[in-house]
A = this chain, B = another copy of it.
Amino acid sequence: MKCAGDIEVRQVDEMAINIDPIQVGGRLTADAMKAVIAYGDGYSVCDNCRKPFRLDYIKKPPIADFHAELASWLSMDACRLVPGARRGFQAVCQGLVSKGDPVILTALSHYTEFLGVESTGGLPREIQKNAENRITADAAAETIERVIREEGKTPSLLFVEGVDYQYGNHHEIKEISRVAHSYDIPVLYNGAYTVGILPVDGKALGVDFVIGSGHKSMAAPAPSGLVATTDEYAETIFATTAVKGDQTGRTFGIKEIAMMGCTLMGVTVMGMMASFPHVKERVLRWDEELAKSRIVTDALLSIEGTTILSEMPRRHTLTRIDTRASFDRVAATHKKRGFFLSSALSKMGITGVIPGATKIWKLNTYGMTMAQAEYTADAFREIATENGLSLSD
């Protein structure tokens, strides 16, 4: 078994139009790639680490500034980097959720949110989605009432997704926050598909925690992410160590328990930081991304039998499609069966659709050029007509 020998160079995003639902927001910028090369070595950012010896205090490279800037960019008071959004969920749960506490999630919560709750012994309770696959404040209120009534305990935290991973739908964040706060329940905003993709203002949303993913949505290497919070909760979530060596009397200064001290050294923090100026700009061009997304979804909708399961009009580039009455009908008799679709796309230089998927699947057009959007739209239409499906306009 020779691992290194088996590593093929990956050129997916250089050689093809990638529409993979989870990959497109995490492709590196050229500046991130340069930083990755310069800071590849393990503890590369620690050259100038001085008292008080914590990653987020390092001034050169300007990691301290980066932390401050992230907090203000999200309209929050404090921010820390973490190895992925999931580690942000875990950190918040560690601070707020005790064994046996009910915690509110949604019917569209990601599995990592459930694991965060499970990691500290919390009991996940879901808010149901409505017929449009959206999470509403009314449903949140009902769920909170139900949990308090049935379990005799106020939930210690409420998770809600800015945009969920299944439909790419937006939810009633502001209104849900208001409801949760009326019960004194803090709100965690899962920004895995929004922070770094579209403008996010934590204060305007009224949430207590904003979690973001570097490798999913901030053009950063994995694993990377952030957890931002308000002054009200910073001391709880970023509590510093209080233990002492009983024989040596050692204490450990300002190291934060839930962060496990220093978090993202080297390549991850530097990649995230180098992409950040570009990320700040790209969120302001969100309308252009939506326009490109609509070019592709319009093409898909024009294929007979195809429906979009996400909310319409699209307000995100991640979209859930139902092609059971179109491409899957083709698959039933095609000699390549379900693989005909990914195979045909692949021949046209489009990748990221799970091979074999022709029923319900997802795509994400984020970061395409306008020409690529039009090409992708044409490709879907062409594959449809080649396989005997008719097009409307």
| A interface residues with partner B (beta carbon < 8 Å) | 1-13, 20, 22-23, 25-28, 31-44, 46-47, 60-62, 65-66, 68-69, 83-84, 86-87, 89-90, 94, 105, 107, 109, 111-112, 114-119, 123-128, 214-216, 219-224, 241-248, 252, 255, 257-258, 260-261, 263-268, 270-271, 273-278, 351
Contact = CB atoms under 8 A, between A and B. Distances in A.
Nearest to A82: B83
Contacts of A109: 245
A4 B35 CA distance: 9
Given A42-B221, A116-B260, 17 more contacts: A3-B62, A4-B277, A7-B62, A8-B60, A23-B44, A25-B42, A27-B41, A28-B42, A37-B37, A42-B224, A107-B245, A114-B245, A115-B252, A115-B255, A115-B261, A119-B260, A267-B268
Among A4, A37, A274, chain B packs the most CB atoms within 10 A around the CB of A4
A125 B221 contact: no
A265 B38 contact: no
Contacts of A128: 247-248
Contacts of A278: 4
Nearest to A123: B243
Given A124-B245, A243-B118, A268-B223, A261 B36 contact: no
A66 B9 contact: no
B241 A83 contact: no
Contacts of A115: 241, 252, 255, 257, 260-261
Among A123, A257, A275, chain B packs the most CB atoms within 10 A around the CB of A257
Contacts of A6: 61-62, 65
A222 B265 contact: yes
A133 to B, nearest CB: 12
Contacts of A252: 111, 114-115
Contacts of A126: 245-248
A6 B28 CA distance: 18
A388 B2 CA distance: 54
B28 A9 contact: no
Nearest to A117: B243
30 contacts: A1-B62, A1-B65, A1-B68, A1-B69, A3-B66, A3-B274, A4-B276, A4-B277, A7-B61, A13-B41, A22-B46, A23-B41, A26-B41, A36-B36, A36-B37, A40-B221, A42-B216, A83-B84, A84-B260, A86-B261, A111-B252, A112-B261, A114-B252, A115-B241, A116-B260, A119-B257, A126-B246, A221-B221, A221-B267, A223-B264
Given A7-B38, A43-B216, A222 B118 contact: no
A47 B27 CA distance: 13
Nearest to A221: B267
Given A216-B42, A216-B43, A267 B270 contact: no
Contacts of A263: 223
A111 B261 contact: yes
Contacts of A119: 94, 257-258, 260
B83 A83 contact: yes
A251 B340 CA distance: 31
B3 A87 contact: no
Among A83, A86, A277, chain B packs the most CB atoms within 10 A around the CB of A83
A115 to B, nearest CB: 5
Among A8, A34, A258, A266, chain B packs the most CB atoms within 10 A around the CB of A266
B66 A46 contact: no
Contacts of A3: 62, 65-66, 69, 273-274, 276-277
